Structure formats: C-alpha cells, structure tokens
Structure 1
Amino acid sequence: MSSPASPGSRPEPVLNSAALQGEALDDTPVPRKRVVSWAMWDWATQPFNSVILTFVFVSLYLISDSFLPADVAAENADDSLVCSRTADAATGYCQGLSDLAEWYGWVAFAAGILVLLLAPVLGQRADARGNKKRWVLGGTIALALVQFALFFVYAEPLFFWLGAILVALGSVASEIAGVNYNAMLVEVSTPRTIGRVSGLGWGLGYIGGILALVLVVALNAVSWFGLDVSDGLAYRLIAVGAAVWTIVFALPFVFNVPEAPASADRPRVGFFRSYAVLVHDIVALFRDHRPTFWFLIASAVYRDGLAGVFAFGGVLAAVSFGFSANEVILFGIALNLVAGISTIVAGRLDDRFGARAVIITALSILILSALFVFVFREQGKAVFWIGGIILSAAVGPAQASSRSLLARVTPRNMQGEVFGLYATTGRVMSFLSPLLWAVFIGVFGATHFGILGIVIVLAIGLVLLLFVKLPKHVRVKN
C-alpha cells in the first residue's frame, strides 16, 4: 500500500501558509488586543466542555440516580453498591445507570451526525460569504441559551431526555462555532506566530476550565451558603453560571475581532448545492493539496484518542482508582492547569521546531504515560495522579499544534471549509476510542483494561501521521 504522501517526483515544499497559497509572505504584526480577544473565545466556552460535559453536570448529575425511579434509586440508599463489581452490576440500580449512559450515548451520537452533515458545508459558505464571525457569534449565543435551559432539567426521570438533548444541542452549537473560530486563526496570526497564537487559545481554554472547576469546589465547600440544593438545584445553578461565563467572556471577541472579507474565488451557491461543491473540493484537495487531505485522516484518529483520554479519565479515577466526587473534580482542575501551561509553552516550540514535531512528541509521551498507568496500576492513586499529569501535559500541545498545522497547510480561501472537514473527520472517527474501550473491558473484565484501547487508537494515529509527507517546517524569524 502506498504511503499517504505527495508524489515523490515533486520538489518538497516549504511549510509556509502564504507560500502554499501562492501569496506573498505577509508578516504584518496583528494587534495584540485582537489576538487576545480571539483567544478569549476558548476561555469563554471552556466551562461547557469541562464543567457541563466532562467533570460535573453530565457525569455527576445527568447520569446519576437523580434520574432513576425512586424505588430503583433506593436500592443504593446506603451507598454500598459499586457497579464495577460483578455482583452489583446485575442490580436494578446499576442497570438503571447503565441505561442512562447508553441513552445519553445515542443522543450524543445523533449530535455527531448533525455536525458531520453541517460543519463542512457551513464552513464552506462562511468562506464564500465572509461571515465566519457571524457563525461564531450565532453558535456562541445558541450555546449560552442551551446552558441557561439546563436550569429546567429537574432531578426527575422525565427530565433526563430534556437534559440529554440540550447537552447534545450545545455540543452541535459549540462545534459549528468552533469550526469558524478555528478558521479565523490565520487572520489573527502571522506565519511566525501562528503556533503560539493557537497555543494561547487552547491554553486560556484550559485555564478557564480550571477556574470554573475551582468555583464549583468552592461552592461545595461552603455548602452553597446554606441553600437547599438536594433536588439538583446545585447542578442547575452551575449550568446558569456557565451560561453567564460564556456571554461575558465572549464579549472581547465580539468587539475586537473584525469579520474577514469574503473569498472572491469561492462559489456562492444554495445550501443543497453546497454539498456538490463540497464533494468537488474534497477531490481537488486530494489532488492538489494531498498532505492536507492525509493529515485530516491521520489527525481524526489520534484526536479521537486525545478525546478518549479526557472522556474516560474521570471514569478510571472513580471506578478503578477509587476517587471520590470531589477528588475527581480536583483531578480535573490539576489536569486543566498542567494542560493549559504546557499548551502555551508548546506554542512557542511549535513556531520554532514545527507543529509536526510537537504532535509526534506529544503522542509518544501520551502512549508511554498511559502504559505506565496500566502497568503500575496496583500501586494506587499516586500512579494515576503521576500518569494523569504527564498525559495532560501532552494532550493540550497535540491539540493546539494540530490546529496550527492544519491552518498552515490549508489554502487561505478554504479555511472554513477545511476546518469544517477537520471537525467532520473527527466525528467520523469518534467511535474508535469508545469502541476499543468497551471491547477491552468486555474481553478482560476490568475497567483499567480500557486504557489499552485508548493506547491503540493513539498509536494508530501516530503511525498514520508518520507516513504523511508534510512540508518541511521553516522557522520564520523576527
């Protein structure tokens, strides 16, 4: 099988977005206020990812006994059941939680299909019409409204579906906004600074997640100032707080980041005709920008592995290593802190050594760290803390450098469309980590074997990336 690379007879190009696009190198400095305002969008939307999706609302509230029938929830009134134990797994209580997790998964799958169908076409239309910023704002407003609406997800079984659908719609809004936000990276950076600007955005996002989780811990510590939150009110108020956070911290992006002009050479067609244009563009991308095409495929695989690290990290902490709810949140804070700092630092390494080198290094560290946790798991919580910290230090740089590398090798007039494909290919491959996670646990009968499933996904992505013949990185000096 031939390697996913450009024909060897062609001269090896230089990794420079302007050169790839046949344009003069433009290294005109971008005002710092504009750069920081763009990066603040990552900060503004991070509570949805860290608080709503990952560590608090979904994992500790939506998929919990708050949404089980009263008689089923009463089976664990003394908190004695541990659903990872074979003897307990068959109880009505554990089966009920399993059903909630499955139903939530199907709703999330439907959201992924929506992103799959919409993201590249909407990105393409934003390129042609010059309204990327408007799509970011529209998606951000929708995300805020969804978080406000979560206040009405009361702790009763009937409201589970409302919560699951709202969270899924929030994911769609976040993805659509993120496609156009990512596509604006080349408009707020130069060939010399694109890596550090991308890293700044990811880093601020992680740090925003830290602060949001710290606020949750602080509110728990003061018992919500005596407020009765036994009916799920605490989690519903957290969702409202996340909505307010999103609106307030998105304002710098609204006021300080200008809308990009339309691409004159991109077709402006109707919505359904856009799909025909999309197919034509994918064929052209394969023919004329093959490194970009193959990078989309390789990154889709390893990005699913990166998502698996965070998606199942909390489960491993709670089930395999015995972390309490507060310990899971504190673990999330530590992971976001390390990931935020390492991502900002790695942004400079990206500009100096190239995004591909950063990604390869990060993936290698991730694989070794995960294997470390698996091999030494019987040593207890300390091993998971050490391995988790190292893992988080590598996840952020891999994500940020993937974004900057794609921006570098994508034609300027296709940024929105290609970043839409970036989101779409990630969705297409998003079944890999959950699938291998479940298969390994099912075959070997223990949750910690799921780690090996994630390792395999990361390893496959790394191998695919090594075969992609990307242009050489040339550092653009001051």
Structure 2
Amino acid sequence: MPTLRRTHPADLPPVQRRELWAWAGYDFANSGYTTVVITAVFNAYFVRVVADGADWATFAWTLALSLSYLLVAVTAPALGAWADLRARKKFLLAITTAVCVAGTAALAACGPGSVALAIALVVVTNAAFGTGENVIAAFLPELASEDGMGRLSGYGWGFGYVGGLLILGVCLWWIMAGAAAFGVDASAVVPQTMLITAAAFLLAALPTLLVLRERARPQPARSGLWRTSFARLRQALLESEGLIDLRRFLLCIVCYQAGVMTVITIAAIFTEQALGFSTTESIVLIMVVNVTAAVGALVFGLVQDRLGHRPTLAITLVAWLAAIGLFWFAEDRRLVWVAANVAGLALGASQSAGRALVGYLCPARREAEVFGLWGLAVKLSSVIGPLAFGAVSWASGGDYRIAMLATSLFFVAGLAILATVDVPRGRAAARVADAAIG
C-alpha cells in the first residue's frame, strides 16, 4: 500500500498523522464561508434585500466577486514567492483567516441600502479566502508523498463539502426557526447566519493553525526580496524551458475552472430564475449537492493515485459536460436533481484532481510560489466564467439555459489543453528544477 505521508530528510521533523487531519480540516473550516456567503445565502440576500431587487443588483454582486478574484490573481504569485523565500506560509494563513472571519462577522451589519458596505466586505473577505486557499494548498507537497497527493487532496475537498453542508444546514435551521420564533420574514434573520459562519470558520481553523508545522527554511534573496519574488514569477510564467507541462496545466485550469466557478457563483440564481425553485428549495438542493461533491472528492481522490492524474481529471470534465447537457434538456424537477448531483460529483472530483496534479508537478521549495500561480489561474477563471455567463444571458434576453450551455465550452477547451499535458515529463522537470534550486 503506497504511503500517504511524505518522508523528509533527518534535519526536518517527520510528518505526523495529526497534521494530515489538521490540513484537511482547514477545507472543512473555510467551506462554510464560500457555501453560505458566496453560493447559497448572502448572494440572494444581497440582491433581494440589500439592493432592494434593483436591476443592477446581480451585476453589482458579480462585479464585487470579480474584483476580489482579480485582487487575488494579481497578488497571489508574489505573496506565494514571498512566503517561500521567508518560510512564512503559516503566518500568511493565520492573517488571511483572521481577515476573512472578521469580515464575515461584519456582514451581519448589512441591511437594506448597505450596498457599499456589503460590496467592500465581500471584496475583502473573498480575497482573504482566496489567498488562504492558495496558502493551505501549498502545504500539500510538504505533507503528502508523490503517490498520496490525490488521496490527501481528496480528503480535504471531501471534508470541505461536509463542512459546507453542516454550516449551511445550521444556517437554514436558524433562518426557518428564527423567523418563526420572532414572527418575522426569513430575510430578517439572515444577518445572524453571518455570525454563525464566522464563528464556525474560526473554531474549525484553530486545529490547523495550532498543529500544522512550517518545514520550509528561509532562502536568501540576493537582489532584494520582492525583486527576487517577481523574477521567479516571471521565470515561471514566461520561460519555455523547464516547467512547460505545469504551465500548460495552469492554462487548462483557467479554462475548466471558468466553468466550475460559473456554476458555483450562479447556482442559487440559476435554480430560482431558470428553474423556478424557491429559496428554501435552492438551499436544500445545494445541501444535497454538497454531499455528492464530498463523495466525488473522496472517491476520485482514491482513484486518482491508481488511475493517474490526467485520466481522472478527464473523466470529471466529461461528467461536467454530461451535467450541463442534462440541465439543458431538463423539463421536470426529477431530471434537475439528477443533473445537479452529477454536477456535484464532478465538482468535488475536478477540484480535488486539479489541486493534486499541481502538487505533483510542483518542484520542492517552490510550493507557495507554484500554488500562487494555481491561485492566479483559478481566480482568473473566476473573473472570466461568471462575466461570460452574464454576457450570454444578457445577449440572449435573460435565457439562463443558453448561458449554461455556453458554459460547456470552457470544459471542452479544458479537455483539449489537458490532452497536451505530459504528466511524467512534467514530474521529471519538477525534479530537475528542485535539483537546480538545491
């Protein structure tokens, strides 16, 4: 049975089993934020209550998310290189966690008319979430062996979907019970779910911040820290020699993640506007999809280390295309539920497989830098995908089904680029780059 934990030289502490749990537990901790704030609850609350259902409300929401993703895309590679050079990944993780938790709690103060405050807090919290997501991913190559990255990444994504499901369930209970207890509309108690989400994030992240160890060692920056950081970023992005397969896969991620992030961002809007679901029905559907996403991440995480990184990811992208096809043909809610759960399986599997393959192609001692590039790719896709969906929807007169069908082109492009990625060659290049740094 291949080992899951990475073996380090004698001068570095060995990886403890509790660190694997602590690392995977951070996905459990931060998923409540993205599920409740971005996907299922606060987005609809912003459009319906904060912006009073204005015509520009949905555009304002997607613009806020795009700004936050663009902020992460611009800063992530340099921050990653800085964290590598200074060996400060854990410090950066603590800072981003604190900012996201505090900002999420502050969202509870947003009510009717608080558009500027809500947008500012969403930009800040989502940027902090995205940066923390990159940093925790950068620990993966330090913790998992080469043949165990798929499993550990799958465990993390699986726990993340469970965490998102639990927090969303608690928030749904509060929305229903609180509204009944106080005799008010459900939207009146939505702000309290921001406090619930923030508290859950903080408590669940504490084991990660306390247990996870920083094994990187500070590296000399002969020409200045930030100058060295940007020089290494330029080398990773522009030089054709060396990590060509890693760069091709990062481009592949930009394509297929544009489709994934579109589905995540507009999930509640699509189910309500195109499929006629109520808010409660949409939340229940998203909760069920979180279960299937967790199953997809865990199962495909196990399969990936046996079947191979590229074939596993290709299967998940085909599953995405199947889910979109089912949405297109869906005329009753039974087929909608089938399509949503196929999408859930593909969601968990593709997220896990992509992160693991980046780790597999990553040279040692450049983890934060490379996962900063991963964050750049993901965040660029997060800008491109939702804006493209909105543009197609607007051009088609508000036809969300056509916009969803157009989203399938991102997955087709991802498959085409994935076919050009030579994983064994990419892993060999990572070893050469590691030797050069050494």
Task: Tell me the residue number matched to 1:235.
Answer: 190
Task: Tell me the residue number matched to 1:388.
Answer: 340
The DSSP-based 3-state class of the residue aligned with 1:288 is: coil
How far apart, CA to CA, are the structure 1 residues paired with 2:301 and 2:72?
A: 28
**For this pair of structures, how many residues does the alignment match?**
419
**Structure 1 residues 315-357: Cα deviation after superposition (integer angstroms, max 9, x where no partner):** 2211121111100000010010110122111111011112211
* Structure 1 runs (4+) greater than 4 angstroms displaced: 228-233, 265-268
- Residue 373 of structure 1 aligns with an amino acid whose one-letter code is F
**Structure 1 residues 4-42: Cα deviation after superposition (integer angstroms, max 9, x where no partner):** xxxxxxxxxxxxxx9xxxx99xxx984221101111111
How far apart, CA to CA, are the structure 1 residues paired with 2:145 and 2:91?
A: 23
How far apart, CA to CA, are the structure 2 residues paired with 1:442 and 1:57?
A: 23
How far apart, CA to CA, are the structure 2 residues paired with 1:399 and 1:125?
A: 25
Task: Tell me the residue number matched to 1:31.
Answer: 16
Cα contact 2:244–2:426 (8 A) shared by 1? no
- 1:167, distance to aligned residue in structure 2 (A): 1.1
Q: Is 1:207–2:191 an aligned residue pair?
A: no
Give the gaps of 5 or more residues in structure 1. 1-17, 69-92
- 1:268, distance to aligned residue in structure 2 (A): 7.5
How far apart, CA to CA, are the structure 2 residues paired with 1:351 and 1:330?
A: 33
- 1:373, distance to aligned residue in structure 2 (A): 2.0
Within the candidate set 254, 263, 273, 1:300 is matched to 254
User: Aligned pair in 2 of structure 1 residues 201, 166: CA closer, same or farther (>3 Å)?
Assistant: same
Within the candidate set 257, 274, 277, 2:229 is matched to 274
Task: Tell me the residue number matched to 1:464.
Answer: 417
Task: Tell me the residue number matched to 1:77.
Answer: none
Cα contact 1:362–1:397 (8 A) shared by 2? yes
Task: Tell me the residue number matched to 2:244.
Answer: 290
Q: Is 1:121–2:78 an aligned residue pair?
A: yes
Task: Tell me the residue number matched to 1:112.
Answer: 69
Q: How does 1:80-159 map to 2 (within 5 A)?
A: 96=54, 98-153=55-110, 155-157=111-113, 159=114
- Residue 217 of structure 1 aligns with an amino acid whose one-letter code is L
The DSSP-based 3-state class of the residue aligned with 1:366 is: helix
How far apart, CA to CA, are the structure 2 residues paired with 1:361 and 1:35?
A: 27
- 1:443, distance to aligned residue in structure 2 (A): 4.4
Q: Is 1:63–2:47 an aligned residue pair?
A: yes
The DSSP-based 3-state class of the residue aligned with 2:276 is: coil
Task: Tell me the residue number matched to 2:431.
Answer: none
How far apart, CA to CA, are the structure 2 residues paired with 1:307 and 1:63?
A: 19
The DSSP-based 3-state class of the residue aligned with 1:261 is: coil
- 1:224, distance to aligned residue in structure 2 (A): 4.7
**Structure 1 residues 191-217: Cα deviation after superposition (integer angstroms, max 9, x where no partner):** 232111110111101011111111122
- 1:426, distance to aligned residue in structure 2 (A): 2.3
Within the candidate set 11, 26, 43, 1:41 is matched to 26
User: Aligned pair in 2 of structure 1 residues 439, 133: CA closer, same or farther (>3 Å)?
Assistant: same
How far apart, CA to CA, are the structure 2 residues paired with 1:174 and 1:277?
A: 24
Superposition RMSD on alpha carbons, in Å?
2.5
How far apart, CA to CA, are the structure 2 residues paired with 1:182 and 1:425?
A: 14
- Residue 392 of structure 1 aligns with an amino acid whose one-letter code is G
Task: Tell me the residue number matched to 2:129.
Answer: 174
User: Aligned pair in 2 of structure 1 residues 164, 439: CA closer, same or farther (>3 Å)?
Assistant: closer
Q: Which has the larger radius of gyration?
A: 1
How far apart, CA to CA, are the structure 2 residues paired with 1:107 and 1:321?
A: 25
Give the gaps of 5 or more residues in structure 2. 1-5, 428-438
Task: Tell me the residue number matched to 2:322.
Answer: 368
How far apart, CA to CA, are the structure 2 residues paired with 1:217 and 1:32?
A: 34
How far apart, CA to CA, are the structure 1 residues paired with 2:221 and 2:247?
A: 19
- 1:461, distance to aligned residue in structure 2 (A): 1.1
Identity among equivalent pairs (%) = 24
Cα contact 1:112–1:172 (8 A) shared by 2? yes
Q: Is 1:323–2:277 an aligned residue pair?
A: yes
The DSSP-based 3-state class of the residue aligned with 1:292 is: helix
Within the candidate set 302, 306, 317, 1:352 is matched to 306
How far apart, CA to CA, are the structure 2 residues paired with 1:430 and 1:215?
A: 27
How far apart, CA to CA, are the structure 2 residues paired with 1:437 and 1:396?
A: 21
User: Aligned pair in 2 of structure 1 residues 266, 370: CA closer, same or farther (>3 Å)?
Assistant: farther
How far apart, CA to CA, are the structure 1 residues paired with 2:223 and 2:204?
A: 33
How far apart, CA to CA, are the structure 1 residues paired with 2:65 and 2:396?
A: 27
How far apart, CA to CA, are the structure 2 residues paired with 1:66 and 1:104?
A: 11
How far apart, CA to CA, are the structure 2 residues paired with 1:442 and 1:291?
A: 37
The DSSP-based 3-state class of the residue aligned with 2:286 is: helix
- Residue 269 of structure 1 aligns with an amino acid whose one-letter code is G
Within the candidate set 437, 441, 452, 2:405 is matched to 452
Cα contact 1:129–1:268 (8 A) shared by 2? no
User: Aligned pair in 2 of structure 1 residues 233, 444: CA closer, same or farther (>3 Å)?
Assistant: closer
Higher normalized helix content (fraction of residues)? 2
